[in-house]
Amino acid sequence: MLKFSLDSRRGSFHLQVECTFASDWTVIFGPSGAGKSTLLRLLAGLDLPHHGSIALDGRVLTETNSGLHLRPGHRQTSLVSQQPALFPHLSVAANVAYGLRSLDHAARARRVDEMLDLVGATDLAARRPQDLSGGQSQRVTLARALAPAPRLLLLDEPFSALDGVASDALLIRLQIWLRESNVQTAVATHDATDALATSAEVLLIRDGRLVALGPASEVLASERRRLLGRLETN
Amino acid sequence: MDWQAFALSLRLAAVTTAILLAVAVPLAALIVLGRGRWLAAVEALATLPMVLPPTVLGFFLLVMLGPRTAFGRGIAALLGHPLAFSFDGLVVGSVIYSLPFAVQPLVAGFASVDTALVDAARLLGAGPVRLVSSILIPLARRSLLAAIVLSFLHTIGEFGVVLMLGGDIPGATRTLSIVLYDQVENFDYAAAGRTALLLLGLSAMALIAIYSTSRNRGITRRA
């Protein structure tokens, strides 16, 4: 369970959200500029809130009152951004292995194979990032984020470069694997169809404030009607 | 040709460059990755020797490292000899004088690395040392090479600090640029021309090496 209370200011933008994610899969939905990426960066520990706390399964990751802040990489939290940030000087396999330093060589190689297989990128292992398409890069970035076995996976519009069919197939395989591996996931998106595609808990966020939290069918009812209306019109 | 001075200049430049790399890489990483307003003061201090007249820096170091100050006396007691007018003193002066020429290219190179890559490495558990060694340095190789070459050449051509701090002691502090000065003072223009050509050749060869490396890697834009 992910529990957080965050107050963060950046320029004129003010994020103030208090929330608990109890579901295995939570969608953070909101328009561009609502604060989704800011929230994910705070949860990942890349940025510090001005006030607040973050706890994952009862373990405190950030608490400004006591000055506690676990560094990224020590929070069992992975973040995959919209823009794949693969290390250009390393092969795909070396990218996936980057966070597996504590494993011995054989275990590391097995884990890399397992992760690349999960995202359907086994044949890309020897390639360099600059030789990959946008969709392939996103798959490899996902494999790299999953390799260290995080407890919390944060996805920031991670499938934007994949076509619909490929995205759906990967999403189904990923959800099964995450459930089996007991990884809690939060996915940020501004696309209502993505949010409605999964029977997930949805956090609706707007202008840095929590608007609603609940089942997708309830929180996104108006978005669903809008999408259906557009289909009927067409 | 004063080969003793030539060898001393090369030795001084090599030692200075090695020390500068050990100092400048972590310093540049701190300036780029660190947070806090005090870092502006650190960067300003690291750049100061670039705008300071070499004779001014040499004078301050001469006074500070000499017997007039407690610091200078302490160092002399520790080493068994004063730092001023010694090779070790020249190394100290050269490191301070050439510091900006090592730090500035590295700061520019590290700052040009995409912050998303730095974030990705941090999320995967990289601490500062691994971040610098496995991401920043490989992705800013050309800046590292520029820092090495600039530090080396700047030390080879150093004059004001060397003269103020080291004087002109053969085998200990007489470098090629001091030899050139002596030759001109003695109206020995033929010898001065050879020394100047040697210094010019060293600089040109090093710069050609930098640019040919970049061209081989396809970094430099072709006309």
B115-147 residue pLDDT tens? 999 999 999 999 999 999 999 999 999 899 989
Architecture of the A1-71+154-160+186-234 domain: 3-Layer(aba) Sandwich (3.40)
Residue B218 to residue B23: CA distance in whole angstroms:
30
- Pick from B5, B22, B57, B20: which is nearest to B149 by CA? B20
So what's the pLDDT on residue B81? Answer: 82
Sketch the domain layout of chain B as residue ranges: 3-174
What percent of chain B clears pLDDT 70, i.e. is strictly above it?
Answer: 96
Q: Which of B119, B125, B134 sits opposite A85 (nearest CB)?
A: B119
**What ipTM does this complex have?**
0.89
| Interchain contact A61–B (C-beta under 8 A) | no
Residues 191 through 230 of chain A touching chain B, CB cutoff 8 Å: none
- What's phi and psi for B207, nearest 5 deg? -70, -40
A-interface mutation test, from B35, B117, B123, B129, most A Cβ less than 10 A away: B123
Whether B6 has a pLDDT exceeding 80, the answer reads yes
CA angle B184, B187, B190 (to 5 degrees): 80
A114-164 residue pLDDT tens? 999 999 999 999 999 999 998 899 999 999 999 999 999 999 987 766 666
State whether B122 and A79 contact (CB < 8 Å). no
Sketch the domain layout of chain A as residue ranges: 1-71+154-160+186-234
Residue B38 to residue B41: CA distance in whole angstroms:
5
Q: Identify the CATH class of B3-174.
A: mainly alpha
CA angle A93, B109, B37 (to 5 degrees): 110
Q: Please give the helix or strand (H or E) that residue B163 lies within, else none.
A: helix B160-166
CA dihedral A57, A61, A65, A66 (to 10 degrees): 100
Residue A82 to residue A135: CA distance in whole angstroms:
11
A16-42 residue pLDDT tens? 999 999 888 899 998 888 999 999 999
